[in-house]
Amino acid sequence: MNRIDRLKQEQRKLMKSAPSLRKILRTTISKYYLTCGYKKCWCHKGKKKHGPFIYLSYSEKGKTKMYFVPKELIKDVRKGVKNYNNLWEIIYKLCKINREILWLEKKKR
């Protein structure tokens, strides 16, 4: 097996390992501790605040949007962010392989 064939095999392997596009989220996850609206609550007396509350944020058309994440969705949101980061790693590796294949095929001509 020559170098180009090995690279194409690695290319196919990477493409198969990519997460489903339905399962990716381009977002940042943040944890917040907040004070409530009840003035007599202990959170207003310098003690521990309420939380943690999980929010996701992303930028769209130059504006940052934030959404509260219910507890039952936190695991799915974290998985979506992880899938997004994995996809970018795969794209980076594929670009490197594609570039090398392109140069090797050009040399063959």
* pLDDT score at 46: 80
> What percent of the chain is predicted at pLDDT more than 70?
100
Banded model confidence at residue 83, pLDDT cuts 50, 70, 90: very high
Summarised one tens digit per residue, pLDDT across range 1-32 is: 799 999 999 999 999 999 999 999 999 999 99
**Tokens read off for 7:** 């690279």
The structure's pTM equals: 0.80
Report which of 18, 16, 13, 32 is spatially closest to residue 82, judged by C-alpha positions.
Answer: 18
Banded model confidence at residue 107, pLDDT cuts 50, 70, 90: confident
Q: What is the mean pLDDT of the chain?
A: 94
Query: Residue 10 is inside which H or E element, if any?
Result: helix 3-17
